[in-house]
Amino acid sequence: MRRPFRNGEKRRAPAGEKTSFIRERDIMDSFFKRFIAGIVIGIGAIIPGFSGGILAVSMGLYKPTIDAFAGFFKAPKKNFRFLLPLILGGGLGFVIFLFLIDRLFASCRTYVIAVFVGLVIGSMPSLFRECNEKGFKKTYPIWSAIGFAVAGGLIALGLISNAGAPREITPLLAVISGAIIMGGVLLPGISISFILLNLGVYENFMHVFTNPPKLFIASLRAGEGFGAAFSNIVNGLPLMLWGALGFVIVAVPVLLLVKKVIDRFHGPAYYLIFGIVIATTIGCVVQEVFNLAADPTFVFKWWKPVLCLALIAAGAALSVSTEKFMRYREEKEEQKEEEKEEKTEEENTAEGTKESEICE
């Protein structure tokens, strides 16, 4: 006969097995969502006028990711499971977009930017809630004004100055470029394309990662043999590693700095970010209008702005609906967990009472 459970003891009956199954399902569900979010952040890291950090903030992943990186060794298993899909998705989005950027932006750059603008706009309500999560002070909006002014000033500077002349990528420039890209991911509002374009290294640094695989495939198609084709990868590897070194050099100190600032000054920090997000979003649209106006091949047609507005609306609707769905799921799961805990406590109490009656 099975021993009755005393008060406070947890049940290990089929209900526990169901709970385990639900948690495994939720883990996979969350893994997929963070993987997709990582792809979006990876693309946003190199899309002209955008910042990967802005997209991370807008999706509510910025602070959790900073916390997971900065405190990785405090709970390595938990943090690894949280970060893995983001890293895989971010790397995949970054690499895929590197190869697509030439063709994709040549034909539909404006429409891609419109979708991303919509995603950011749709996520602003949730970002604003995050700003006030730990309370509100009358001085907080001043930080938004400061963020807006600084980001707007940088964008205006980019509009009135021409991009730098193209430069050949050296090991030093590769390190600097890698550091700038990592800075754009970790610091919301920093558009790496703006900085790299003005340094004259944007396209050439992207080619550091895209040219070796392209040359590898081209050599195989030309029948040059695997050895000759693989040498293209080997020749391009040093500059890739120098770029990766730039990622690492910036990542650790910036992560620790950002975590300390957000933990200590949550309200001012998020209001500052909120102002940067608004300025960056407006600036991205203005930059694209200027680019189109300066493009001699651009032909205006009435349906183009209509399509852009529709894509912005679609991106915003997708962002809002996704955020609402995720909140709904979280509330439902919390409600289920509470109901299960209450049921378990009632059953334990009943079994404990029954055991006491038997003993008497």
Give pLDDT, residue 261: 87
Residue 117 inside a domain? The answer is yes
Give pLDDT, residue 26: 46
66-75, 191-200, 321-330: which range is least confident on average? Answer: 191-200
Decide: 185 and 193 in contact? Cβ < 8 Å. no
Residue 3 inside a domain? The answer is no
Residue 9 inside a domain? The answer is no
Structure tokens at 302: 């009435």
CA dist 48 and 10 (Å) reads: 54
Give pLDDT, residue 7: 42
CA dist 23 and 45 (Å) reads: 32
Residue 60 inside a domain? The answer is yes
Q: What mean pLDDT do residues 167-190 have?
A: 80
CA dist 276 and 145 (Å) reads: 9
Residue 102 inside a domain? The answer is yes
306-333 pLDDT, tens digit each? 999 999 999 889 878 877 776 777 677 7
CA dist 52 and 194 (Å) reads: 13
Give pLDDT, residue 228: 81
61-75, 210-224, 270-284, 317-331: which range is least confident on average? Answer: 317-331
Give pLDDT, residue 307: 93
Q: Which conformational region is residue 189 in: left (phi greater than 0), alpha (psi within -120 to 50 degrees), or beta?
A: left
236-289 pLDDT, tens digit each? 889 889 988 988 888 878 888 888 888 889 899 889 988 888 888 888 788 788
79-91 pLDDT, tens digit each? 898 889 999 998 8
Give pLDDT, residue 8: 42
Decide: 174 and 246 in contact? Cβ < 8 Å. yes
Instruction: Give me the sign of the Cα torsion angle 246, 287, 154, 141.
Output: negative
154-169 pLDDT, tens digit each? 778 766 765 555 678 8
Per DSSP, the three-state class of 137 is coil
Contact partners, residue 85, CB within 8 Å, separation at least 6: 30, 31, 32, 34, 35, 38
Residue 229 inside a domain? The answer is yes
Give pLDDT, residue 193: 67
State phi, psi for 163 to the nearest 5 degrees: -65, 145
Contact partners, residue 151, CB within 8 Å, separation at least 6: 189, 275, 276, 279, 280, 283
Give pLDDT, residue 27: 46
Closest CA to 135 of 331, 270, 310, 4: 270
Q: What mean pLDDT do residues 7-25 have?
A: 41
49-53, 135-139, 205-209, 226-230: which range is least confident on average? Answer: 49-53
Residue given tokens 């900065």 in the structure block: 70
Residue 151 inside a domain? The answer is yes
Number of domains in the chain: 1
Is residue 152 predicted with pLDDT exceeding 80?
yes
Give pLDDT, residue 222: 83
CA dist 109 and 326 (Å) reads: 30
Residue 176 is part of which domain span? 14-359
Q: What mean pLDDT do residues 170-194 have?
A: 77
Is residue 15 predicted with pLDDT exceeding 70?
no
Q: Give the percent of the chain with pLDDT over 70.
A: 80
Residue 35 inside a domain? The answer is yes
Give pLDDT, residue 1: 39
